[in-house]
């Protein structure tokens, strides 16, 4: 009987009905929610003897992938794979999948939730009322403002579609744009610098890592309006947090909504006491509905691969022909 380990805390346990595809295929399901703080040596001990894992954000390093010699498939619960050494997995014949497309709508919704929270000072006002105060600090409109979208992939396109309902002027920076989509939804393609200069709200939906590390740095923050808001529901590495803190404290930026951080969980408290910052714990894509979709998709991808079918969301098809066999 093949064995799968589930480390994703949003899965409720071995009897989670969304894992039905695994049970129906005769898999033994083990559950040990790990969170992001697990170290590689702890992870190796945990995954040893399993054929597949429905993974949270624990580190699947080369050492882990080599040591866990029974492991054939890392099925990431979510769309990010920063914590998986995909080149090493490919070399070793370990399949890596994500649940791409299963939470796009949730992240797009959350980007707007952060924008509204910032513009209308919702969190700030809620805190005031809970401590006995009563005030009506003026917020700012979203209606007919200019929205800059950095990265026009599935999530960025979802944000653009939602913006149309608020009659926003939508700008986008995207190296490989879907021009038909832009024409249909009235999206103006511009340079990153132009976008930052013109936007009232900037929302990030670009991949992290590589040349995108600190894409938003001190120089680019200086291009933004002092009345503008920055939202990040993509990857924490996109923003130079030290530069962002300086801009917020210095009044050079109106506010920021951060669902992701450079280090998660963060060890610093740099944004905690700033009233113009709204923080959430990398949960933009996590709703009841998206959780169900991601869990089911991860389970189904494992079953597909075990049957000799290329699974959905496969990141490293180059590993398929020399994959570890069941």
- Our answer to whether residue 264 is catalytic in this structure is yes
One domain for residues 123 and 80: no
- Give the active site residue among 18, 162, 205, 282: 282
| Confidence (pLDDT) at 35 | 60
One domain for residues 136 and 97: no
Q: In what order do the strands lie in the sheet with 255-258?
A: 187-189, 169-173, 146-150, 201-204, 229-232, 255-258, 277-279
- Our answer to whether residue 205 is catalytic in this structure is no
- Give the active site residue among 20, 45, 91, 264: 264
One domain for residues 74 and 114: no
One domain for residues 152 and 249: yes
One domain for residues 124 and 80: no
| Confidence (pLDDT) at 265 | 86
- Backbone Cα Rg of the chain: 21
Q: Which domain holds residue 309?
A: 3-102+287-322
- Our answer to whether residue 300 is catalytic in this structure is no
- Give the active site residue among 235, 241, 261, 262: 235
| Confidence (pLDDT) at 10 | 86
Q: 170-175: long-range contacts at Cβ-Cβ below 8 A with a sequence spacing of 24 or more? A: 170/146, 171/146, 171/147, 171/195, 171/198, 171/199, 172/148, 173/148, 173/149, 174/149
Mean pLDDT by groups of 10 residues along the chain of 326 residues: 93 91 96 79 94 94 96 93 93 96 93 98 94 93 98 96 97 96 98 98 93 96 98 96 98 97 91 96 92 94 96 96 93
One domain for residues 138 and 275: yes
The number of folded domains in the chain is 2
């Amino acid at each position: 009987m093949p064995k799968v380990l589930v480390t994703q805390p949003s899965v409720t346990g071995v009897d989670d009905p969304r894992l039905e595809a695994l049970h129906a295929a005769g898999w033994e399901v083990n559950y040990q929610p790990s969170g992001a703080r697990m170290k590689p040596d702890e992870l190796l001990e945990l995954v040893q003897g399993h054929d597949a894992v429905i993974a949270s954000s624990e580190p699947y390093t080369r050492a882990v992938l080599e040591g866990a010699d029974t492991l054939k498939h890392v099925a990431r619960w979510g769309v990010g794979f920063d914590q998986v050494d995909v080149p090493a997995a490919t070399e070793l014949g370990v399949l890596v999948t994500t649940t791409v497309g299963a939470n796009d709508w949730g992240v797009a919704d959350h980007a707007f939730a952060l924008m509204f929270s910032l513009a209308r000072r919702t969190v700030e006002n809620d805190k005031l009322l809970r401590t006995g105060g009563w005030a009506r600090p003026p917020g700012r409109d979203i209606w007919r403002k200019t929205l800059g979208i950095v990265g026009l992939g599935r999530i960025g396109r979802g944000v653009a579609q939602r913006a149309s309902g608020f009659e926003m002027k939508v700008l986008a920076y995207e190296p490989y744009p879907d021009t038909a989509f832009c024409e249909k939804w009235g999206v103006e393609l511009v340079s990153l610098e132009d976008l930052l200069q013109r936007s009232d709200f900037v929302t990030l939906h670009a991949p992290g890592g590589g040349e995108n590390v600190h894409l938003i740095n001190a120089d680019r923050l200086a291009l933004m309006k002092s009345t503008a808001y920055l939202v990040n529901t993509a990857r924490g590495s996109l923003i130079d947090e030290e530069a962002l803190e300086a801009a917020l404290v210095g009044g050079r930026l109106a506010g920021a909504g951060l669902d992701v951080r450079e280090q998660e969980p963060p060890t610093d408290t740099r944004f905690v006491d700033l009233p113009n910052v709204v923080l959430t714990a990398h949960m933009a894509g996590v709703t009841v509905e998206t959780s169900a979709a991601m869990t089911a998709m991860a389970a189904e991808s494992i079953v597909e691969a075990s049957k000799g079918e290329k699974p959905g969301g496969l990141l490293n098809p180059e590993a398929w022909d020399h994959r570890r066999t069941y």
